[in-house]
Amino acid sequence: MKTSFAPHLTIRVLRPAIDFYQSAFSAVLLRKWDNPDGTIHVAEMEIDGAIFHLHEEVTPKKQLSPEALNATTLLIGLFTPDPDKLFRDAVSAGAHVVNAMEDYDYGYRQGTITDPFGHQWLIQKKI
């Protein structure tokens, strides 16, 4: 096994987020944990083998969503073979463009979006 990152994204309501990530990034829901009231507490997803988790906001633990903070403290870098397609798919699914997709002189093609839950994604590939 190699070392990897698996970010935990804090979100107020997980069900719409699962739907968005499936639509925007073709993410696959691997498993989920429900609360007694039927809401989802945690979901594990993957995008082409890259695992990430969605966690319900837990105020006492100070695990707050970007919606609660009206800001984000994290930019999620997502490397993909076709960043233009993933960028377009995310925008079509409801993401907002922060920076359009473009080539940079440091050797990356990148574009940044904010998902409907306030998380920012830097979609990119090395060129």
Q: Looking at residue 31, what is its pLDDT?
A: 98
CB atoms near residue 73 (< 10 Å): 8
Ordered by start, the domain boundaries in the chain are 8-126
Helices (H), the chain: 14-25, 66-69, 83-93
User: How many Å apart are CA 41 and CA 21, to the nearest integer?
Assistant: 16
User: What pLDDT score was predicted for residue 4?
Assistant: 84
The span from the CA of 126 to the CA of 42, in Å, is 32
pLDDT value, residue 3: 83
Q: In whole angstroms, what is the distance from residue 81 CA to residue 71 CA?
A: 29
The answer to whether 90 touches 78, Cβ cutoff 8 Å, is no
The percentage of the chain sitting over the pLDDT mark of 90, rounded to a whole number, equals 88
DSSP state of 124: E
pLDDT tens digits for 22-36?
999 999 999 999 999
Query: What does the mean pLDDT of the chain come to?
Result: 95
What are the residues facing 55 on neighbouring strands? 10, 42
pLDDT over 80 at 1, yes or no: no
Q: Which two tokens stand for residue 58?
A: 């837990």
Two tokens at 38?
């039927």
Fold of domain 8-126: 2,3-Dihydroxybiphenyl 1,2-Dioxygenase; domain 1 (3.10.180)
Asked whether residue 9 carries a pLDDT value surpassing 90, the answer given is: yes
What average pLDDT score do residues 97-122 get? 98
Output the pLDDT for position 113.
98
Pick 29 or 4 by higher pLDDT: 29
Per-residue pLDDT of 26-81, as tens digits, reads 999 999 999 999 999 999 999 999 999 999 998 788 889 999 999 998 899 999 99
Q: Which tokens sit at 26?
A: 């073709």
CB neighbourhood size of 30 (10 A): 11
